[in-house]
Amino acid sequence: MLGNNKIRIIGATEKNVFFARSRDLSSGGGPGSAELPLAEFLSGKFDSRLISGFQDKRSRILLVVPDHWIKHDFFLFRSQKEGLIRPFIERKLKAAYPNLTSAQHFFNYSCRQKNIEGPGVRVFHLSEPRAFDLYAALSRSNLTPRWIATPALLWEERLNRQFPDFAGQAALVIHLQRHESFLYFYHNGDFLFSREVALPESSERWDALLFEINQSIYLFSQKAKSDLQSVYLIGDEAGFQERLTDLLGRPVHAVSTAGADPVLPKELAALDGLLEPDGTPAPADAHCITHTRIQQQVKWRPVQWAAMLIAAILLAFFGAEHQWLEERLSVEIAARSRMRQQQPMSLADYDAAVVELTDDLSRLSPPHTIFTIVSSLPEGVLINELRMDADTLRVDLAATVHAESIDRFRQLLKNLVENFNRRLNLTPPITMEDVVFTMEEAKHQAVRTDYKIACKIQLP
């Protein structure tokens, strides 16, 4: 049982639906409480503002329905595995109540070992068609109940907690009120049936109650095939406990209830004593019905929480790590910026500069080349034209050779070629064949002949 004052209670009776937070209910209504006719609520023809204050999304809802809206069955079944029991119960409910197609979604069970029948499951499920309609209407109004219970189931839970041997007894629980009394019969902890007895305001009220108790005990004996073992009284009044003890001939145990003196609507008098002054605690799942879909969702809740927690921790860790990394990043960027300022030229720039300088130095120097070519000319050879390309390292030369004879011309040409090869370091060297000359010599004098020569030199 969890103490949780966030729980809201929706109490359904044959005619009305009551909406209240448990605090409001126990204090006789409050600003969040509302009462609507059941038929109007089911048809949707009501003023939604009446329950708007009740639609607190953070709270969970307990729907309390009359005892007879929930039916209790026992099915023989040997296995105690949930994976086998649930489909078995669904099949059983489908077969037993073909008109209640939704019943298979609204049931709860507990395993039982009975002396005569043997092992089986005790099943309680919604059996009233209006209950399904009410659930659907509540879901439409965003008031889907987390739990569905009856007063008998809630009292069963209370007595199980208060009296450890209650679950093994054939017991009668008398819930005494000013104008009425509720009788709940349990066998081995399982609810059998209940009675509501109207009590007149006279001295005969005890006689009427005792008569009804006796009748019900007789019915109980027939149903349970067992004698009543214990009687529990809720809400003692003017020594009624002693009188009852004398009349029944067995001890009557007083059930302690909440300390508050709640003022409940008459229709919800069965809940009197269940409400705590600080709010109704959440009921145990074993004594309530929860829609199968909600059960699945509730089952996954711890996984969701764990996943959320782990993710949140990871997120926080990564966030802190990111903060630290950002600081490291800014430190590295600042260091790089500082070093870049200290370094006007990178080594790569120096390397490129050296390459450029080397290229420049290895370039052809026209004055030096002209000087070398001119100094290579033997006496009697005069340059006419010189063309030089520094990029292709090519020199085109045209000159005039003055020679007295062909032998002298040959000798001059030979000297010229040798000088070029030696001084210009030509590789491959030029040969005499590379030097062309014209045979149409211009004769100036009878003893000397001018030869026009030309050659192309590829410098290394």
Partner 1 sequence: MTARLKNWWLWVGTVWAGALLMFLWNHATIETILALQAQNHDLRSELTFQQQNAPKLERIQNEHAKLFLAAESLQLGVLSAQALLGELASRSELNVGQLTSTPLQKGVEAAALNLTFSGPPERVLQFMAALNTHRYLQQKQLAVKFDPKSGEATCELSMQLRCRIQAPALNEPNPNAPNARAAL
Residues lying near partner 1 in the complex (CB under 8 A) are found at 57, 60-61, 139, 144, 146, 293-294, 297, 300-301, 304, 307-308, 311-312, 314-315, 318-319, 321-322, 325-326, 328-329, 332-333, 335-336, 339-340, 342-343, 345-347, 350, 353-354, 356-357, 360, 363, 365-368, 370-371, 374, 382-391, 400
Angle at 126 between CA 124 and CA 127, to 5 degrees: 105
Which of 84, 374 has the CB closer to partner 1? Answer: 374
Provide the minimum distance between the beta carbon of 102 and partner 1 in the complex, in angstroms, as a whole number. Answer: 16
Which of 45, 57 has the CB closer to partner 1? Answer: 57
Provide the minimum distance between the beta carbon of 103 and partner 1 in the complex, in angstroms, as a whole number. Answer: 20
Provide the minimum distance between the beta carbon of 119 and partner 1 in the complex, in angstroms, as a whole number. Answer: 35
Which of 228, 395 has the CB closer to partner 1? Answer: 395
Q: What gap in Å lies between CA 327 and CA 12, rounded to an integer?
A: 62
- The secondary structure element, H or E, covering residue 182 is strand 180-187
Provide the minimum distance between the beta carbon of 132 and partner 1 in the complex, in angstroms, as a whole number. Answer: 16
Which of 379, 391 has the CB closer to partner 1? Answer: 391
Which of 76, 310 has the CB closer to partner 1? Answer: 310
Percent of the chain as helix, strand, coil, to the nearest 5: 45, 25, 30
Provide the minimum distance between the beta carbon of 323 and partner 1 in the complex, in angstroms, as a whole number. Answer: 10
Which of 329, 432 has the CB closer to partner 1? Answer: 329
Show the tokens assigned to 7.
Answer: 């729980």
Contacts of 10 (CB under 8 A, 6+ apart): 17, 18, 19, 20, 61, 62, 63, 64, 138, 143, 145
Closest CA to 155 of 255, 268, 70, 72: 255
**Helices 240-248 and 205-224, interaxial angle, to 10°?**
50
**Cα dist. 282→35, 154, 272, 458 in Å?**
22, 10, 16, 106
Provide the minimum distance between the beta carbon of 311 and partner 1 in the complex, in angstroms, as a whole number. Answer: 4
Cβ atoms of 105 and 148 closer than 8 Å:
no
